A and B are shown apart, each in its own frame.
Chain A
């Protein structure tokens, strides 16, 4: 398995700016963001909509180039790479979980999970076997031959998780992974994600607007107006929230 040296920095962001140009106007989305994520950590990036959290994730995954600043992921500078290099980087190091699951509709669960392996040129028999194992891991034994439109949202997102895990990536990015799910399914999903990530020792970076979901994480980076507001732990967040709930209850 991977070395789980907690002290090793796997993501390092320093003084990151992203300014969008909308016509003549310049809209800053990120204004000098800096933080680090250690290997094997579950990191949540929290913020309201428009805070710039999604932009930050895009930059971490190399989907958009930053305007200024440094993004170092797994020891490589993302800001200097060309598009095909970024694609190759993601293929090698990164798994991705989407809010809208984004499974390929024409492929069944097994084939969807095996897809990233096919991008790596893995033989079909090998990758189907791997996909099979990961579907077992996320608890979808019965749905392997199902198409996305034959599954519930929760099931689809489990397929999405299996797809992110199948390449055994160093880092998994999750963009509002429970955004389209009901609260019960969200809880299940969060527990599953946390457990798997901790078992396998890979780094998970999750973007969410929900403080409650963020409290599952080891590390919480709060973004507000394109800046890091605070960096704390999930535990601290949970305690604070509980305290607030009590206070609210006391008032009523």
Chain B
């Protein structure tokens, strides 16, 4: 007997008992829908979690820091973040690029306010990858000899007035136009030079830089770039080397005699990997080289584990109703077999292969599962749509953009699962049908 014939027989049998079939299918619909909807809530939770993580930093980045150096470590053994290391790291597998980062503490005076943001010199690629939403002006191009500064949208919270009151104290945004006001920068780590009598002979110098732009967003809107002031690393290095020619650059290490090194060492490096999967591997290599490497992956992984567990628990709750549906399928199949004992006997007398008989009943159960699965998925999409529509308020309260997300794989898996459950539920009845005696056909009752 070929498959199509068996399928036809099964469907004919199901259609003969429409109401019973419909009720059994309804059970599966509810079972599938409850699993899928529960899981969709878990998935939505996971999606929003990932979105949140994305806000705190790029998921593919590793931050590399110099390890702690004990006093008296030999000069040759001191690990420093320099251009040579950048080259070494760039050559590693899975690494897209390595950006240096030089953090300079600056003090910015403007009108009655003084601000204390960090000026970060970074590479152009890194700046691009931050996905900054530019509000005014533009990102620093890095071209030209003049240093250009780009401010994050929350930089202004680091500005204080004469009474040392800032935004967090007063709730008022400092009246500063970063684009157009005159900003006077001094480097906080530059110490005044004094003569033997303690008289200052050279005060830290004030500089003025061009403002390239300001990030979009209110003062409360956090992104990983919100607090910093950015500039191009090459321009920053060029400026520092010119301004502090022959002297120690503020914040840079010096030799034991207090003399500056030729090279500028970076505060940290950012290693950007091609994929989240490789982050851990690359981080391990860097750690083995003796540097501190920090990435978000461990945190993300533990978050994901929690999310997965929530999803499983939700799915498990939904699975109970599918289990009930499976019992329903089994019951329906048993009934159908009792009713058709004679018919099955006749088929056996007429030479229908036993395995074909079993198969027919398995297909019947699978068709119930499939029908229930498909309708259940359609129903789930409707419910999901309604949930997202009605409960947007509740969702945003929980920090979620959507309450329910049904990705295509979940829909397909839902249908496949329903078919499998149908067949498992139908297995025992189908075996019973296969083993029925052909003598049932002969008996006249």
A residues with CB within 8 A of B: 54, 58, 61, 63-64, 83-84, 87-88, 90-92, 94, 96, 98-100, 102, 104-107, 115-116, 118-121, 124, 163, 167, 175
Known interface pairs A63-B439, A98-B441, A98-B442; A116-B351 also in contact (CB < 8 Å): yes
Given contacts A83-B354, A100-B444, 4 further A-B contacts (CB under 8 A): A84-B355, A88-B351, A92-B351, A119-B350
Instruction: List residues of chain B with CB within 8 A of the CB of A84.
Output: 353-355
Name 7 interchain pairs, CB-CB below 8 A, sorted by A: A64-B439, A84-B354, A87-B348, A90-B350, A94-B351, A104-B343, A120-B351
B residues with CB within 8 A of A: 1-2, 4-5, 12-13, 16, 342-343, 346-356, 437-439, 441-442, 444
Contact across chains for B353 and A119 when beta carbons are under 8 A apart? yes
- The CA-CA distance from A107 to B438 in the complex, in Å, is 20
Instruction: List residues of chain A with CB within 8 A of the CB of B438.
Output: 63, 87
Q: Looking across the interface, which residue of chain B has its beta carbon closest to that of A163?
A: B350
Instruction: List residues of chain A with CB within 8 A of the CB of B347.
Output: 115, 119
Instruction: List residues of chain A with CB within 8 A of the CB of B4.
Output: 124
Known interface pairs A98-B346, A99-B444; A119-B13 also in contact (CB < 8 Å): no
Known interface pairs A63-B439, A87-B351, A124-B5; A119-B356 also in contact (CB < 8 Å): yes
Contact across chains for B2 and A121 when beta carbons are under 8 A apart? yes
Contact across chains for B351 and A58 when beta carbons are under 8 A apart? no
Instruction: List residues of chain B with CB within 8 A of the CB of A88.
Output: 351, 353
Contact across chains for A119 and B351 when beta carbons are under 8 A apart? yes
Contact across chains for A87 and B354 when beta carbons are under 8 A apart? yes
- The CA-CA distance from A57 to B1 in the complex, in Å, is 27
Q: Ordered nearest first, which 7 A-B pairs have the shortest CB separation?
A: A91-B351, A90-B351, A102-B346, A119-B352, A118-B5, A116-B350, A63-B438
Instruction: List residues of chain B with CB within 8 A of the CB of A102.
Output: 342-343, 346, 441
Known interface pairs A63-B438, A98-B442, A102-B346; A87-B353 also in contact (CB < 8 Å): yes
B4, B348, B354: most-surrounded residue (chain A CB, <10 A): B348
For the A-B complex, the count of residue pairs with Cβ-Cβ distances under 8 Å equals 72
- The CA-CA distance from A88 to B352 in the complex, in Å, is 8
**Within the complex, what minimum Cβ distance (angstroms) separates B337 from chain A?**
15
Contact across chains for A63 and B353 when beta carbons are under 8 A apart? no
Known interface pairs A102-B441, A118-B5, A175-B442; A96-B352 also in contact (CB < 8 Å): no
Instruction: List residues of chain A with CB within 8 A of the CB of B12.
Output: 106-107
- The CA-CA distance from A54 to B439 in the complex, in Å, is 11
- The CA-CA distance from A83 to B439 in the complex, in Å, is 12
- The CA-CA distance from A229 to B180 in the complex, in Å, is 125
Known interface pairs A54-B442, A124-B5; A87-B346 also in contact (CB < 8 Å): no
**Within the complex, what minimum Cβ distance (angstroms) separates A156 from chain B?**
13
**Within the complex, what minimum Cβ distance (angstroms) separates B346 from chain A?**
5
Instruction: List residues of chain B with CB within 8 A of the CB of A94.
Output: 351
Q: Looking across the interface, which residue of chain B has its beta carbon closest to that of A175?
A: B442
- The CA-CA distance from A58 to B345 in the complex, in Å, is 13
Instruction: List residues of chain B with CB within 8 A of the CB of A61.
Output: 349
Contact across chains for A119 and B1 when beta carbons are under 8 A apart? yes
- The CA-CA distance from A105 to B438 in the complex, in Å, is 18
Q: Looking across the interface, which residue of chain A has its beta carbon closest to that of B439?
A: A63
Contact across chains for B353 and A96 when beta carbons are under 8 A apart? no
Instruction: List residues of chain B with CB within 8 A of the CB of A92.
Output: 351
**Within the complex, what minimum Cβ distance (angstroms) separates A98 from chain B?**
7
**Within the complex, what minimum Cβ distance (angstroms) separates A159 from chain B?**
13
**Within the complex, what minimum Cβ distance (angstroms) separates A191 from chain B?**
24
**Within the complex, what minimum Cβ distance (angstroms) separates A180 from chain B?**
9
**Within the complex, what minimum Cβ distance (angstroms) separates A99 from chain B?**
6
Contact across chains for B1 and A63 when beta carbons are under 8 A apart? no
Q: Looking across the interface, which residue of chain A has its beta carbon closest to that of B15?
A: A106
- The CA-CA distance from A87 to B5 in the complex, in Å, is 18
Instruction: List residues of chain A with CB within 8 A of the CB of B1.
Output: 118-121
- The CA-CA distance from A120 to B2 in the complex, in Å, is 9
Instruction: List residues of chain A with CB within 8 A of the CB of B16.
Output: 106
**Within the complex, what minimum Cβ distance (angstroms) separates B351 from chain A?**
3
- The CA-CA distance from A94 to B438 in the complex, in Å, is 14
Contact across chains for A91 and B349 when beta carbons are under 8 A apart? no
Instruction: List residues of chain B with CB within 8 A of the CB of A104.
Output: 343, 346
Instruction: List residues of chain A with CB within 8 A of the CB of B346.
Output: 98, 102, 104
- The CA-CA distance from A92 to B437 in the complex, in Å, is 19
Q: Looking across the interface, which residue of chain A has its beta carbon closest to that of B435?
A: A83
Instruction: List residues of chain B with CB within 8 A of the CB of A58.
Output: 439, 442
Instruction: List residues of chain B with CB within 8 A of the CB of A54.
Output: 442
- The CA-CA distance from A96 to B350 in the complex, in Å, is 7
- The CA-CA distance from A90 to B352 in the complex, in Å, is 9
**Within the complex, what minimum Cβ distance (angstroms) separates A173 from chain B?**
9
**Within the complex, what minimum Cβ distance (angstroms) separates B288 from chain A?**
64
- The CA-CA distance from A99 to B349 in the complex, in Å, is 13
- The CA-CA distance from A240 to B242 in the complex, in Å, is 138
Q: Looking across the interface, which residue of chain B has its beta carbon closest to that of A54?
A: B442
Q: Looking across the interface, which residue of chain B has its beta carbon closest to that of A116?
A: B350
- The CA-CA distance from A178 to B262 in the complex, in Å, is 116
- The CA-CA distance from A31 to B351 in the complex, in Å, is 29
Instruction: List residues of chain B with CB within 8 A of the CB of A83.
Output: 354
- The CA-CA distance from A119 to B350 in the complex, in Å, is 8
Instruction: List residues of chain B with CB within 8 A of the CB of A116.
Output: 350-351
Contact across chains for B353 and A90 when beta carbons are under 8 A apart? no
Instruction: List residues of chain A with CB within 8 A of the CB of B353.
Output: 84, 87-88, 91, 119
Instruction: List residues of chain A with CB within 8 A of the CB of B342.
Output: 102
Contact across chains for B442 and A63 when beta carbons are under 8 A apart? yes
- The CA-CA distance from A90 to B348 in the complex, in Å, is 9
Q: Looking across the interface, which residue of chain B has its beta carbon closest to that of A180?
A: B444
Q: Looking across the interface, which residue of chain B has its beta carbon closest to that of A98?
A: B441
